Homo-oligomer: A and B are copies of this chain.
Amino acid sequence: MTSGCQKLPQPASVATVNGDHGKRPTIYDVAREAGVATSTVSRALAKPDRVNARTREHVLEVAKRLGYRTNPLARALPSGRTQTVALFVSDVTNPHFFGIIRGAEQQTRAAGCTLILGDTEESPDLESGNVERLSGSVDGFVIAASRMSDREIRELAGRHRLTLISRQVEGVPSAIVDHEDGTRQIIEHLASLGHTSVVYLAGPRRSWLAAKRWQVIRTTARQFGMSATRLGPFPPAVRGGAAAADAAFGHGATAAIAHNDLLAIGMLRRFAARGLRVPDDISVVGYDDIFGADFCSPPLTTLAGQFEEAGRLAVDLLLGSRDGHRRSRSASQVVLPSHLVIRDSTGPAPARQ
């Protein structure tokens, strides 16, 4: 199973290009060439101000001449600091994570570190398994839309540096987009259009977001005198849309809130295929404002948020650049604003027949 990574033929022309017998020069080579001790080379490279200016210049010059490149592994061994951060998402092909990935990548790079990306395929076991596997080669973890239980997360956070995206667990730093307030906005929007009955097409059973959203939909709907029903769970992907659409239609609601845009887009397609008009017959709302939400038919009303910023923040929290000073008792739980983007998939409730 792990055999694939064993035999690695050398690059074709290694000897041709690299003069030094194909081996990278080490600080020993530099030290010898420069006539100083290895520790001096190490200092000149890592903490330039703790070395005489002239020797530093000299060492650096020699290092450059020899084409010296510091070996990150060797550097990491004593310190344990790998300058690497791992990001796990539940599905790399879900456009929802694009912004998160991009933001995390940017911030990681800005901090001089490297990002490792993992796909956990909606599986809590793959999440914890990956953490264990990479623990040791990574300085910390960012988990987006974790499917683990609060207990598992807290346990993991106790043993590893860990921050969360789109998930809140007490005592664990996190960055989320305000979907509670956002969900309220959705209900208000639907209420203002005269809808009195709404269904929520739920996401995965283990999704914390799905639970939270349903909770807010339920209580807010009640405030507005609307009936609310939860259907599902459905896979949070376009392919889940057919079943979701049929369920929503079967229920007879005039408005449907899908767990995410992928599901909503899938529903749109199914409605079209069945000859139902959106929003005339039924209104549809999604979450995330993903790529495509603006050009599907009809363009989707959806809750947008700063997910790229969430990615950046999560990395910041992990590396301590932002919350470093005020490390209060409770871990920082950042909530980013969200706003409802109203497009054409929502409209006035159809007149009661």
A residues within 8 Å of B by Cβ?
1-14, 16-18, 24, 69-74, 76-77, 81-84, 92-93, 95, 98-99, 101-102, 105, 110-119, 132-137, 139-140, 155, 157-162, 171, 265, 268-269, 291-292, 295-297, 316, 319-321, 324, 327, 331
Contact = CB atoms under 8 A, between A and B. Distances in A.
A63 to B, nearest CB: 14
Given A5-B319, A11-B157, A17-B159, 5 more contacts: A4-B113, A7-B320, A115-B117, A265-B295, A291-B291
Nearest to A76: B73
Contact of A69 (B71, B117, B135, B157): B135
25 contacts: A4-B111, A4-B319, A4-B321, A5-B83, A5-B112, A7-B324, A8-B320, A11-B158, A12-B331, A13-B158, A14-B159, A69-B136, A73-B73, A73-B82, A92-B98, A93-B102, A95-B291, A101-B117, A105-B117, A114-B133, A114-B134, A116-B116, A269-B295, A291-B292, A292-B292
A10 B161 CA distance: 7
Given A5-B139, A134-B114, A320-B7, A158 B16 contact: yes
A183 to B, nearest CB: 25
Contacts of A316: 4
Contacts of A324: 7, 9
Contacts of A113: 4-5
Contact of A12 (B81, B111, B157): B157
Contact of A8 (B12, B17, B139): B139
A11 B162 contact: yes
A74 B6 CA distance: 17
A37 B2 CA distance: 26
A304 to B, nearest CB: 15
B158 A327 contact: no
B93 A119 contact: no
Interface centre among A4, A82, A327 (most CB of B within 10 A): A4
B159 A11 contact: yes
Interface centre among A5, A114, A116, A331 (most CB of B within 10 A): A5
A8 B296 contact: no
A111 B161 contact: no
Nearest to A110: B4
Given A4-B321, A292-B292, A319-B4, A102 B77 contact: no
A266 to B, nearest CB: 9
A200 to B, nearest CB: 23
Nearest to A298: B297
A14 B297 contact: no
A8 B8 CA distance: 34
